[in-house]
């Protein structure tokens, strides 16, 4: 089968099935795994599908969010956020060095870390206050206050963050997309989250199911760079991209 014929066959399968494996495409086309993987790379570069681990998936019908969600929107899915935060807090052990960012779900973790012996670093003044009230060991990044919030951002915050190495980081995101990865509306927040993840042994994104299929202005990380803790995965294709825990 010629390359153009394989491409048509691959795109037809992806269109019909949404997600298809390399093994299935080999059987359908008679081509080798190496050939199919090259075809998938080519089609992904052309923007005709999304290449994932072990196969490919169709392009998402993504909702683009240009602005930061308002407070009422952020307070939705409260029970789901609470479950996610409780599970995430259970991953923290006494000898961990942990970074906690400013996401609303991450903020819920403070209620479940009252007895933790870990060392915490955060960019959230609210979270730092909650942990300090329970006499936890906590450091807050220096930097500028994000307008309208009590979150630390900016060049000084990034410079402070580079002084630390973490065993675990817990981050929030406004969007989760196969093609665009984890995103957030604020470029300064995205830079902080990305740097924190790069300095950690393990990074976790705490996102409720409403965040999947959404894209916002600033990219944080590709999906494969962090595990996901969520209440529900709305589409199985995300399971091919990274480790996901549903709680």
- Are the C-beta atoms of 169 and 175 separated by less than 8 Å? no
Res 69: pLDDT: 63
| Domain ranges, ordered by start, for the chain | 3-59, 64-246
Give 11's contacts (C-beta < 8 A, 6+ positions apart). Answer: 43, 48, 49
Alpha helix stretches (DSSP H) within the chain: 3-17, 22-29, 33-45, 71-74, 78-89, 104-108, 125-133, 155-161, 187-198
Res 66: pLDDT: 66
Distances (CA, A) of 11 to 28, 51, 181: 12, 12, 22
Res 106: pLDDT: 96
- Are the C-beta atoms of 119 and 102 separated by less than 8 Å? no
- Are the C-beta atoms of 191 and 151 separated by less than 8 Å? no
**Cα 13 to Cα 10: distance, rounded to the nearest angstrom:** 5
Please provide the size of the chain in residues: 247
Mean pLDDT in consecutive groups of 10 residues from the start of the chain, 247 residues: 90 84 93 94 84 80 66 74 97 98 94 96 96 96 89 96 98 92 94 98 96 92 95 86 94
CATH architecture of 64-246: 3-Layer(aba) Sandwich (3.40)
> pLDDT tens digits for 102-129?
989 999 999 999 999 999 999 999 999 9
Backbone angles phi, psi at 191, to 5 degrees: -65, -40
Res 17: pLDDT: 82
Res 60: pLDDT: 66
- Are the C-beta atoms of 169 and 98 separated by less than 8 Å? yes
Long-range contacts of 42-45 (CB under 8 A, 24+ apart): 42/7, 43/7, 43/10, 43/11
> pLDDT tens digits for 70-101?
656 666 789 999 999 999 999 999 999 999 99
pTM comes to: 0.80
Paired strand residues for 138: 120
**Mean pLDDT score of the chain, rounded to an integer?**
91
Res 246: pLDDT: 97
Side-chain-side CA neighbours of residue 139 (13 Å): 15
Res 197: pLDDT: 98
Fold of 3-59: Arc Repressor Mutant, subunit A (1.10.10)
Res 235: pLDDT: 82
């Amino acid at each position: 089968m010629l390359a153009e014929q394989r491409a048509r066959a691959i795109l037809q399968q992806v269109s019909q099935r949404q997600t298809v494996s390399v093994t299935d495409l080999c059987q359908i086309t008679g081509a080798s795994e190496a050939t199919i993987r090259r075809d998938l790379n080519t089609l992904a570069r052309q923007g005709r599908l999304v290449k994932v681990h072990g196969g490919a998936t169709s392009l998402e019908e993504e909702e683009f969010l240009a602005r930061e969600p308002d407070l009422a929107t952020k307070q939705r899915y409260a029970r789901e956020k609470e479950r996610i935060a409780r599970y995430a807090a259970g991953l923290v052990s006494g000898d961990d060095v942990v970074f906690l960012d400013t996401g609303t779900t991450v903020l819920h973790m403070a209620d479940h870390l009252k007895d933790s012996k870990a060392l915490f670093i955060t960019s959230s003044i609210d979270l730092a206050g909650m942990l300090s009230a329970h006499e936890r060991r906590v450091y807050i990044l220096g930097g500028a206050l994000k307008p309208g919030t009590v979150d630390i951002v900016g060049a000084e915050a990034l410079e402070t963050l580079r002084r630390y190495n973490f065993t675990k980081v817990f981050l929030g995101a406004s969007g989760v997309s196969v093609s665009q990865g984890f995103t957030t509306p604020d470029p300064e927040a995205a830079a902080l989250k990305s740097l924190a993840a790069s300095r950690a042994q393990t990074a976790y994104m705490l996102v409720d199911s409403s965040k999947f299929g959404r894209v916002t202005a600033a990219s944080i990380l590709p999906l494969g760079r962090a595990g996901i803790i969520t209440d529900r995965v709305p589409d199985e294709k995300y399971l091919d991209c990274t480790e996901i825990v549903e709680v």
